[in-house]
């Protein structure tokens, strides 16, 4: 069911749009509008007619039930389930895929009719069709689970125009327009809260049912549900650029990234199926030259049994479904996995390298104390620092703004420059102002008499007019589930390393609190890249977790890049392979566990399919297995594999 697992789009794809897929089912896309009864109706009709035919054949034995009447009866029983499969086989042949599983089932059942085994011909196609229906239902459920969790965007919003509410299509709303959100309504666009306070249900974005309270000026995202009073929001992003839209797009594209196991099975099926067909021909005709009592009908029957057994549908159905289930399990827990190949990579991660600020800490800084040298006007300097920091979106800038208060817009800043990994520089009142870490002061040869290395706080150094003014101490809070995260990673046998641009003393302190063995601070973006390369050089599979713009290069370099999707920058979210939507680090070991469980289920299905088929293939070739055993080996194993694959969607991690 290849395209069912690889297409999440609202557009209904045609058969030709999936060129190269092994398992195209146009009819499977109709299931969204069909009831379960409608899906099973053709199979029910065939089953009733087959059951009556067997009763006539083996119990009642009426004289009229013979010859052409008996043939027509079983043909009518065959048509509801057989015609769709024969049609698929014909379409596959037209597209150049001769040896599809539909072709195998077609020649096996038509062959059974040709030697008078009518009930078995109908039974094989009936059970195969029932297996296909269960497969369709499983994939449709997985798809609808993800859409129900994520596709929360309302089509219309209420825009305030000239003081009056007006309902408008969400995609037509412009940036900076004001929208009104009533209690219980879903937000259709990303924006900034204009009301003093509002509570939101953020489960669509984060998987977290706990309400989130936002205050005036804070960011609110499409998909959030307003829980209390009527609120007003200023739109900050177009409909197609909202974070939820991007998440949906990523989910829609997720299963187009195939895992190596999936790619192998697709290639394997292309080689395996023609070999099976030629072996079946060999089983039919070669015994003529070897055995003395050769009976064509007997050897053809064995070959048909062999064909039914060897159908690879258990593999081509259950493996993509297993990976799709893994992606669905992640989405249900607020973890966006951008492709099934990343599930395999997650399962093999040996070292998780993480940023500190915003990843293992809240990223919510507060100014603790102000230490200035004598002779400086504290209030005047703080106003200048606040004006300069208003040019930055860094959490430290927010902390300074909260501490100092409103920005004094009468202060004119010139030549504002951000120096990566160090801080900000500007000219104010004709003099140079530097605000950042002590590396920034060193670069501009500012002299200071302070041993700052051992202070276990983030320090913001300030220099004005080539003189050292002093520093602010700023503290961040470790996330409540950060320690549990490290414990769970250790339990999974995964090493942990912390890399940060913050001062080494702070980084070491946080690492000790969490139980992280290796921690490095005072790193510029290029230093993080070099450290990650050193770890990868030890032949370790590495995941990097970060949230800032400067983390994007390291996220891209790692085997698996994980971004914090709430506070995280758009650049990092775009670059990352995994996005944790609620910023909880405990989702890191959960994602790795989902990868491990998915891989386990996929290999269970591969082992089951090959083991059962190998046994029954040998029995079939030797004439010891009938069509009924063949049906179990094919459809029975496929259904067991489907049930096993669906299991991951119900697991708790």
Interval 50-88: pLDDT, tens: 999 999 988 898 989 999 999 999 999 999 999 999 998
What local confidence, expressed as pLDDT, does residue 19 receive?
33
Domain identity same for 13 and 100:
yes
Is 504 a member of any domain? no
Q: What's the average model confidence in pLDDT over 528-549?
A: 86
Least confident stretch, 19-28, 95-104, 549-558: 19-28
Distance CA 70, CA 545 (A): 68
Q: What's the average model confidence in pLDDT over 206-226?
A: 76
pLDDT at 490 over 90: yes
φ, ψ of residue 322 to 5 degrees: the values are -60, -45
Domain identity same for 101 and 32:
yes
pLDDT at 415 over 70: yes
Quote the percentage of the chain above a pLDDT of 90: 28
Q: Tell me the DSSP string of 566-632.
A: TTS-HHHHHH-SEEETT--TTHHHHHHHHHHHHHHHHHHHHHHHHHHHHHHHHHHHTT---HHHHHI
pLDDT higher for 643 or 559?
A: 559
* Lookup result for tokens 């790193």: 523
CATH of residue 382: 3.40.1110.10
* Lookup result for tokens 């059951």: 51
> Most confidently modeled of 68-72, 132-136, 353-357?
68-72
Residues 6+ apart with CB under 8 A from 510: 356, 360, 361, 478, 498, 516, 519
Examine the fold and report which residue of 197, 220, 241 is the final residue of a domain before the chain moves on: 241
What local confidence, expressed as pLDDT, does residue 138 receive?
67
Domain identity same for 107 and 237:
no
> Most confidently modeled of 267-271, 398-402, 463-467?
463-467
Q: What's the average model confidence in pLDDT over 470-478?
A: 87
pLDDT at 447 over 60: yes
Domain identity same for 97 and 16:
yes
Is 540 a member of any domain? no
Active site residue 298: no
Distance CA 154, CA 647 (A): 31
pLDDT band at 382 (very low <50, low <70, confident <90, very high): very high
Tell me: the pLDDT tens digits for 135-147?
A: 677 667 666 655 5
Is 356 a member of any domain? no
Give the burial string for 92-122 (b: 16+ CB within 10 Å, else e): beebebebbbbbbbbbbbebbbeeebbbbbb
Tell me: the pLDDT tens digits for 84-111?
A: 999 988 998 898 877 777 887 888 888 8
Is 505 a member of any domain? no
φ, ψ of residue 493 to 5 degrees: the values are 80, 25
Domain identity same for 325 and 270:
yes
What local confidence, expressed as pLDDT, does residue 15 receive?
32
pLDDT at 17 over 60: no
Least confident stretch, 468-477, 548-557, 576-585: 548-557
pLDDT band at 598 (very low <50, low <70, confident <90, very high): very high
CATH of residue 234: 2.70.150.10
Alpha-carbon separation of residue 483 from 362, 514, 536 (angstroms):
13, 5, 25
pLDDT at 467 over 90: yes
Domain identity same for 262 and 371:
no
- With CA atoms as reference, report the closest residue to 422 among 434, 405, 406, 412: 434
Is 551 a member of any domain? no
- Per the CB < 8 A criterion, the answer to whether 201 and 209 are in contact is yes
What local confidence, expressed as pLDDT, does residue 397 receive?
84
What local confidence, expressed as pLDDT, does residue 208 receive?
53
Task: Please tell me what DSSP assigns to residue 557.
Answer: H
Residues 6+ apart with CB under 8 A from 404: 382, 383, 385, 386
pLDDT at 149 over 70: no
Query: Containing domain of residue 129, as a range?
Result: 2-149+252-329+595-650
pLDDT band at 425 (very low <50, low <70, confident <90, very high): very high
Q: What's the average model confidence in pLDDT over 182-187?
A: 85
Active-site residue, from 22, 344, 355, 559? 355
- Scanning 423-481, the segments in alpha helix (DSSP H) are 438-443
pLDDT at 25 over 60: no
What local confidence, expressed as pLDDT, does residue 104 receive?
77
Distance CA 118, CA 77 (A): 10
pLDDT at 651 over 60: yes
φ, ψ of residue 641 to 5 degrees: the values are -65, -40
- Residue 174 class from Cβ within 10 Å (0-12 exposed, 13-18 middle, 19+ buried)? exposed
What local confidence, expressed as pLDDT, does residue 432 receive?
94
pLDDT at 508 over 70: yes
Tell me: the pLDDT tens digits for 161-180?
A: 888 888 898 888 999 999 99
Domain identity same for 374 and 311:
no
Q: What's the average model confidence in pLDDT over 584-604?
A: 93
- Per the CB < 8 A criterion, the answer to whether 545 and 356 are in contact is no
Examine the fold and report which residue of 216, 241, 266 is the final residue of a domain before the chain moves on: 241
Number of domains within the chain = 3
Tell me: the pLDDT tens digits for 245-256?
A: 666 665 555 555
pLDDT higher for 452 or 3?
A: 452
Listing from the earlier edge strand, what are the strands of the sheet with 366-372? 366-372, 467-475, 458-464, 431-436, 423-428, 413-419
> Most confidently modeled of 158-162, 378-382, 416-420?
378-382
Q: What's the average model confidence in pLDDT over 375-389?
A: 92
Domain identity same for 226 and 375:
no
Domain identity same for 142 and 161:
no
Distance CA 387, CA 413 (A): 8
Strand partners, 579: 336, 563
pLDDT at 4 over 70: no
What local confidence, expressed as pLDDT, does residue 566 receive?
61
Least confident stretch, 14-28, 60-74, 597-611: 14-28
Domain identity same for 257 and 371:
no
Is 637 a member of any domain? yes
Least confident stretch, 13-27, 233-247, 249-263, 520-534: 13-27
Is 65 a member of any domain? yes
What local confidence, expressed as pLDDT, does residue 12 receive?
32
pLDDT at 259 over 70: no
What local confidence, expressed as pLDDT, does residue 28 receive?
37
Is 216 a member of any domain? yes
What local confidence, expressed as pLDDT, does residue 640 receive?
83
Tokens of 220: 């609110």
pLDDT higher for 122 or 573?
A: 122
pLDDT at 26 over 50: no
pLDDT at 525 over 80: no
Domain identity same for 28 and 92:
yes
Examine the fold and report which residue of 179, 210, 241 is the final residue of a domain before the chain moves on: 241
Q: What's the average model confidence in pLDDT over 198-217?
A: 71
pLDDT higher for 83 or 636?
A: 83
pLDDT band at 153 (very low <50, low <70, confident <90, very high): low
Domain identity same for 26 and 76:
yes
């Amino acid at each position: 069911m290849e395209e069912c697992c690889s297409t999440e789009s609202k557009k209904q794809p045609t058969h030709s749009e999936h060129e190269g897929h092994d398992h195209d089912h146009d009819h499977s896309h109709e299931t969204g509008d069909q009831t379960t009864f409608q899906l099973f109706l053709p199979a029910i009709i065939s089953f009733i007619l087959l059951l009556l035919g067997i009763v006539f054949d083996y119990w009642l034995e009426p004289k009229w039930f013979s010859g052409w009447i008996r043939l027509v009866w079983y043909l009518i029983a065959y048509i509801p389930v057989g015609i769709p499969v024969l049609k698929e086989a014909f379409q596959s042949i037209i597209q150049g895929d001769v040896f599809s599983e539909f072709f195998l089932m077609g020649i096996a059942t038509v062959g059974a009719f040709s030697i008078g085994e009518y009930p078995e011909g109908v039974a094989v196609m009936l059970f195969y069709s029932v297996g296909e229906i269960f497969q369709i239902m499983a994939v449709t459920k997985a798809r609808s689970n993800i859409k129900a969790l994520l596709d929360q965007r309302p089509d219309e919003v209420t825009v305030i125009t000239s003081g009056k509410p007006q309902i408008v299509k969400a995609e037509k709303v412009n940036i900076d327009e004001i929208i009104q959100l009533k209690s219980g309504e879903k937000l259709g666009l990303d924006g900034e809260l204009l009301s003093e306070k509002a509570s939101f249900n953020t489960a669509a974005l984060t998987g977290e049912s706990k309400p989130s309270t936002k205050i005036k000026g804070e960011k609110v995202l499409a998909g959030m549900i307003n829980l209390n009073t009527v609120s007003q929001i200023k739109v900050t992003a177009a409909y197609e650029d909202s974070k939820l839209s991007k998440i949906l797009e990523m989910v829609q594209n997720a299963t187009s990234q195939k895992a190596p196991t999936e790619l192998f099975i697709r290639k394997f099926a292309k080689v395996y199926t023609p070999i099976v067909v030629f072996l079946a021909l060999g089983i039919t005709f070669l015994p003529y030259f070897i055995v003395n009592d050769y009976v064509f009908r007997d050897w053809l029957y064995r070959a048909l049994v062999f064909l039914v057994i060897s159908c690879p549908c258990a593999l081509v159905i259950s493996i993509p479904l297993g990976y799709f289930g893994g992606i669905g399990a992640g989405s249900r827990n607020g973890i966006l996995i951008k492709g099934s190949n990343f599930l395999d990579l997650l399962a093999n991660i040996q070292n998780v390298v993480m940023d500190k600020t915003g990843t293992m800490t809240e990223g919510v800084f507060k100014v603790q104390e102000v230490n200035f040298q004598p002779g400086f006007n504290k209030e005047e300097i703080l106003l200048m620092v606040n004006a300069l920091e208003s040019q930055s979106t860094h959490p430290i800038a927010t902390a300074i703004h909260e501490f100092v208060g409103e920005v004094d817009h009468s202060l004119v800043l010139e030549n504002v420059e951000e120096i990566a990994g160090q801080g900000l520089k500007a000219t104010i009142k004709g003099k140079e102002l530097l605000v950042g870490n002590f590396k920034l002061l060193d670069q501009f040869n500012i002299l200071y008499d302070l041993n700052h290395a051992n202070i276990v706080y983030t320090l913001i150094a300030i220099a004005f007019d080539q003189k050292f003014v002093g520093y602010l101490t700023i503290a961040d809070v470790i996330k409540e589930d950060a320690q549990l995260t490290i414990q769970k990673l250790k339990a999974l046998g995964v090493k942990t390393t912390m890399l940060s641009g913050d001062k080494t003393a702070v980084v070491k302190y946080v690492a000790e609190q969490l139980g992280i063995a290796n921690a490095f601070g005072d790193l510029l973006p290029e230093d993080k890249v070099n450290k990650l390369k050193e770890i990868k050089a030890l032949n370790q599979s590495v995941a990097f977790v970060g949230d800032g713009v400067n983390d994007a290069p390291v996220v891209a370099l790692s085997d698996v890049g994980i971004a914090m999707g709430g506070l995280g920058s758009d650049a990092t979210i775009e670059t990352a392979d995994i996005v944790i939507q609620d910023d909880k680090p405990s989702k890191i070991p959960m994602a790795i566990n989902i990868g491990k469980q998915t891989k386990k289920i996929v290999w269970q299905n591969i082992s089951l399919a090959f083991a059962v088929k190998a046994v029954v293939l040998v029995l079939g070739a030797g004439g010891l297995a009938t069509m009924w055993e063949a049906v179990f080996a094919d459809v029975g194993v496929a259904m067991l594999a489907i049930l096993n694959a669906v299991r991951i969607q119900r697991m708790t991690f």
